[in-house]
A and B are shown apart, each in its own frame.
Chain A
Amino acid sequence: MRIVVASGKGGTGKTTIATSLALIASEQESVRLMDCDVEAPNARLFLDPSLDSHKVVGILIPQVDESLCNYCGKCAQVCQFHAIAVIGKKILVFPELCHGCGSCTLVCPERAITEHLNVLGVLERGQAVHDIEFAQGTMKIGEPMAVPIIRELKKWAPVVLPTIEIRDAPPGASCPVVETIRGADFALLVTEPTPFGLHDLKQVVAIARELGIPAGVVINRDGIGDNAVELYCSENNLPILMRIPMERRIAVAIASGELLVEAAPEFRQAFQDMYESITTEVKI
């Protein structure tokens, strides 16, 4: 079973929830946690993994042999991202625009295009605390494209497949979030009861619904803001699976790298109940 922890708004507590859920689930099942926030992965700060296995990932970008090219321009016409341009007797490749689809290579009648790896980031994995299998992707600084790294991370399966896979999603509601949610069995959406939290929650709910994935909500920093998130959830049949109050001691513990359920064990039951609700929902 694959559970994605997403939020929309950044800083609502995705990693806080994902890591504690991983710990609770690991007491019953084998668990893998994947940090898919490749622009700023930070779940390792809570799970202390060994990260002893590495893999460089990227996309295949075109390389043109100008001695074979007849400047027909078919490669530039087929490219939806304008990553290759033919200007008179010159050909330009823009690696940061390329999505690695390979269309230019396919349509080239002169077979003048070969592909080479453009490195976008690195994947790492290893054993974390409580026998949690951990994996993360890290995007190379200056690269704009996160999706290929997330796609490779999802494919980079360990030798023994765990029963439960938990994906810690990036913030926002754009392509990297869609790629992280795609293929999951349940979307756990962490929000805060503020207009900003609600605004972004709606966007991620729309993504989950579009992909046909059941969703539930965690309200973090409960007690601040207003009740608009609650109203929205009840109007849209979104179960509120857990609430975490706004408390300074929780913030202090998270800021020092402690797992929520270890720093505040009174939340263990709530996490167990939420885990049960999710497994029941997915099995139905």
Chain B
Amino acid sequence: MKLAISISGKTLDSPFDARFGRATAFCIVDSVSGEWQAFDNPAISASGGAGVQAAQFVASQGVQAVISGAFGPNAYDTLAAADIEMYIAPRDQTQSAAEILKLLKDGKLTQVEAATNKGHHGENR
């Protein structure tokens, strides 16, 4: 399965980034072959709609699942429309993308069926 993990650097050892829309980068990894590639998140400095833009980006990479720390309503709707599964990893621990991948394989991550937060649009305006 091809999946995307939100990370704060460009390697498999980079710490997990618990934000989805504003994640620094996405590590896109094939869970079977272990092949991976890191991409800058094109939505990191979006003036708005970062969740939608990030979701469109990972969908365009053909992933079947995404692991992040939270999914807002717009990101959730967009990923769900693309039939991408969403998993939540604990946001309070500094873990690498590789460790997060292991947690998924061990069945220790929670799949979400709804947005996990209310979204940030309109904040600080």
Contacts and interface: CB of A to CB of B under 8 A. Distances in A.
Given A144-B122, A144-B125, A175-B125, A81 B78 contact: no
B82 interface: yes
A87 B47 contact: no
Contacts of A83: 49, 52
Interface string B37-56: 00000010011111011011
Interface residues on B, range: 20 to 34
A137 to B, nearest CB: 16
B82 A88 contact: yes
B81 A92 contact: yes
Interface residues of A, number: 21
Interface string A176-196: 100000000000000000000
B122 A85 contact: no
B49 A82 contact: yes
B56 A85 contact: yes
B8 interface: no
Contacts of A81: 47-49
B74 interface: yes
A174 to B, nearest CB: 5
Interface string B100-122: 00000000000000000000011
Interface in A76-133: 76, 79-83, 85-88, 90, 92, 94, 96-97
A87 B78 contact: yes
Nearest to A145: B122
B85 interface: no
A94 B56 contact: no
A96 B48 CA distance: 10
Residue among A85, A90, A174, A175 facing the most chain B CB atoms (10 A cut-off): A85
A128 B82 CA distance: 55
B125 A82 contact: no
A144 B78 CA distance: 20
A85 B80 CA distance: 12
Nearest to B79: A87
Given A81-B49, A82-B52, 4 more contacts: A85-B52, A92-B81, A96-B121, A146-B125
11 contacts: A82-B56, A85-B56, A87-B78, A87-B81, A88-B82, A94-B74, A97-B48, A97-B49, A144-B121, A175-B125, A176-B125
Interface of B: 43, 46-50, 52-53, 55-56, 59, 74, 77-78, 81-82, 121-122, 124-125
